[in-house]
Homo-oligomer: A and B are copies of this chain.
Amino acid sequence: MASHGQADYAVGIKVVPLSIIDGVVAVLIAADDGRHVLPGGALLAGETLEGAAQRILADEARIDAAYVEQLYSFGEQHSVTVAYVALVAGQGFAAPLKISSDLALGEVIVPWAGEAGGPVEVCSPGGEQLALAAGEAEILGQTMLRLRGKLDYSGVGFALLPERFTLRELQDVHEAILGVRLNKPAFRRRMLDKGWLEATGERETGASFRPAELYRYRPTKGA
C-alpha cells in the first residue's frame, strides 16, 4: 500500500444501545478487562451498514428489537467506524442482562445542559463512575445530543416505549433525555396537539390509584 495513495480500510460498526429505566437513560455496555466498551464489530462482506448494526446488537447485546439510527462515522488510521444508536423499548435490557454476564448496565449522566454537547459520564446502578474505553464518552455524548435535538419534532421518543403507554411514561422518557423536569399539563397538551397519539380506550392496570389511559403512537406522514 502506498503511503499516500488510495487504500483499503477495515470498516467497523459500533452500537449504542439505549433505553429508559426508572426515569434515567441507561446504556448496555460490555465489561472488557476493567474498561467498558460499546458493542461493536466488523462490517462483513455483503452486509449493509444498518444490517451489521442489527447483527452486532443481536450477537453482543442480545437485543433483537430496536429502532436503529446512524449517528456518525469516525476515521482512524486504517479503519473507519460507523456508530449507530439503538433505542430499546420498555424493559428490553432485562433479558440480555440475565442471559449474559458480560453485559453491564450503565446510567448515562449528561454533565452539560441543553444542546451544548460534549462527553458524558456513565455510572453503575450502584453509583460509581464506570471507566470507558477511549472515545466512548464522546460517542455517547453525540448520541444524547442527537436525541435531544430530534425528540421534539420526530417520533424517536416512542421507540423507547412499548406499543401502548401512558402520557406519564412518555413524559418520563422526555424528561430523562432532556435532563429537565417538564410541566405536566403543558406536556400533555403539546403531545396531544401534535396528533401523534391515538387513545386506545384501555387503561393502565396495577396502579392503586386512578389508572391512566393507554395511548398508541400513530406516525403521521412527514415525520
Binding site for B on A (CB under 8 A): 1-11, 42-49, 70, 72-75, 77-78, 80, 82, 112-117, 149-150, 153-154, 221-223
Contacts and interface: CB of A to CB of B under 8 A. Distances in A.
A192 B170 CA distance: 34
Contact of A10 (B8, B44, B112): B8
A116 B221 contact: yes
A4 B43 contact: no
A73 B53 CA distance: 13
Contact of A49 (B7, B11, B73): B73
Nearest 10 pairs of A and B residues by beta carbon: A8-B8, A116-B222, A49-B75, A7-B45, A73-B73, A6-B42, A9-B11, A73-B82, A11-B80, A48-B75
B3 A46 contact: yes
Contacts of A42: 6
Contacts of A114: 222
This chain's copy number in the assembly: 2
Contacts of A7: 43-45
Contacts of A149: 149-150, 153
A106 B101 CA distance: 56
Most interface-central of A2, A9, A42, A221 (chain B CB within 10 A)? A9
Contacts of A150: 149
24 contacts: A3-B45, A4-B45, A5-B44, A6-B45, A7-B44, A8-B8, A8-B9, A8-B10, A9-B9, A9-B43, A9-B80, A43-B75, A43-B80, A49-B74, A49-B75, A70-B72, A70-B73, A73-B82, A80-B80, A115-B154, A115-B223, A116-B221, A116-B222, A149-B149
Contacts of A73: 49, 70, 73, 82
Given A11-B80, A149-B153, A44 B115 contact: no
Contacts of A116: 221-223
A4 B44 contact: yes
Nearest to A223: B115
A6 B10 contact: yes
